Amino acid sequence: MRLVSHLVRGAARPGVLVPAPDGDRVLDLGPALPGRSVLDVLADPAVRAAAQAALDAARPADLLDRAAVRLLPPVHPGTVYAVGHNYVGHLGRDADPAQRPAHPNVFVKTPNTLGGPDDPVVLPPAAHEVDYEGEIAVVLARRAHRVPLDEAEACIGGLTLYDDVSARDWQRRTSQWALGKCADGFGPLGPAVVTTDEALPLAGRELTVERDGVVTARASTDDMVFSPAFLVHHLSQLLTLEPGDVIATGTPAKLPEAADAHRPLRHGDTVTVRVTGLGALTTTFVDPPASPGARTADEPTPTRTTTGGLP
């Protein structure tokens, strides 16, 4: 199933995203699962069975037009753990594939960064080098504490898509990346959590990132250095992962031509993260409403910036 959270009369309800040739549909699971959430479906076998039964019994008239539905983040993680340099070649365009990092490079995104698939990302007036990164995100369905590697996959409820938005100018100001990574809304998540029966194994899938319709990054999941299961295992050796927590598994390097032509994100730009079997997440970037502190056209903004290998 492709589980979504959507807004109905001011409240979040679980649903199922149903792909269709003429446009995706959404089945509202609220009537079948009153008071339940996407996380409940992922974590509780009985709730998941009820969701599957509702999907199996659904008629075309029960499905809502995707365009008429406001999607929210599918889960609300207590913590987003993000991984840098997790694809072969991300440390350098000509990096030797044999020279892989020995350990995952992990950082944390704070709760204020969370955004839904229908939410625009507002460009902070103080940040002039905002960049994007398309990633696959792991959603935990079970608590994980010192989990052996061969048991780690069982803690995963599903996979979704993530855009690790970064303010490179702020990221470079200190040895810690927090300010550059943790502006409000800098973590669009969704649109759907694809359950593990469809999402795993992850091998052989293509991840592409598009900016305004132009592919700027492309890689196979076979180039991922640390697998989702390994990341769950590794993190759980020191901290307890809770149901609903998210692990963003990293982005591949931009294609050479895209890196050469790169410029900071501007008002109206769109970024689409697309992965075989997991769907697509499209985010629009916008300037804030005009105010005394907002960026103006007179302020200098770099027209071309390189990321210097930053994740």
**Taking the CB of residue 34, how many other CB atoms lie within 10 A of it?**
8
Is a pLDDT exceeding 90 seen at residue 144?
yes
Give me Rg for the CA atoms of the chain. Answer: 19
Once rounded to an integer, what is the mean pLDDT over residues 110-123? Answer: 97
Q: Which two tokens stand for residue 189?
A: 């998540």
Beta carbons of 88 and 225 less than 8 angstroms apart: yes
Query: What value does the mean pLDDT of the chain take?
Result: 92
Indicate the pLDDT class of residue 88, thresholds 50, 70 and 90. Answer: confident
Give residue-wise pLDDT tens across range 156-215.
Answer: 999 999 999 999 999 999 888 999 999 999 999 999 999 999 999 999 999 999 999 999
Omega before 302 cis (within 30°)?
A: no
Q: Which two tokens stand for residue 202?
A: 């992850």
Question: Which domains does the chain show, CATH number per domain?
Answer: 2-72 (no CATH), 80-286 (3.90.850.10)
Indicate the pLDDT class of residue 231, thresholds 50, 70 and 90. Answer: very high
Q: What per-residue confidence (pLDDT) applies to 264?
A: 98
Task: Of 34-43, 248-257, 270-279, 294-303, give the lowest mean pLDDT range.
Answer: 294-303
Once rounded to an integer, what is the mean pLDDT over residues 138-165? Answer: 98
Q: Which residues pair with 63 in a beta bridge?
A: 27
User: Which three-class secondary structure state does DSSP give residue 75?
Assistant: coil
Omega before 228 cis (within 30°)?
A: no
Give residue-wise pLDDT tens across range 283-297.
Answer: 999 999 986 554 444
Nearest to 3 by CA among 279, 245, 282, 284: 279
Beta carbons of 113 and 65 less than 8 angstroms apart: no
190, containing H or E segment: strand 187-195
Q: Give the angle 218-83-12 at the CA atoms, nearest 5°.
A: 90
Omega before 21 cis (within 30°)?
A: no
In angstroms, the CA 303 to CA 305 distance is 7
Q: What per-residue confidence (pLDDT) applies to 304?
A: 45
Once rounded to an integer, what is the mean pLDDT over residues 215-243? Answer: 97
In angstroms, the CA 117 to CA 73 distance is 7
Q: Please give the single-letter amino acid code of residue 261.
A: A
199, containing H or E segment: helix 196-199
Q: Exposed e or buried b for every residue in 193-219, given b needs 16+ CB within 10 A?
A: bbbbeebbebeebebbbbbeeeebbeb
Nearest to 256 by CA among 92, 86, 93, 89: 93
**One-character DSSP codes across 87-156:** BTTTT-TT--TT---SS-EEEEE-GGGEE-TTPPEEPPTT-S-EE--EEEEEEE-S-BSS--HHHHGGGE
Q: What per-residue confidence (pLDDT) applies to 301?
A: 47
User: Which three-class secondary structure state does DSSP give residue 207?
Assistant: strand
Is a pLDDT exceeding 70 seen at residue 107?
yes
Beta carbons of 225 and 87 less than 8 angstroms apart: yes
Count of positions (residues) in the chain: 311
Is a pLDDT exceeding 80 seen at residue 93?
no
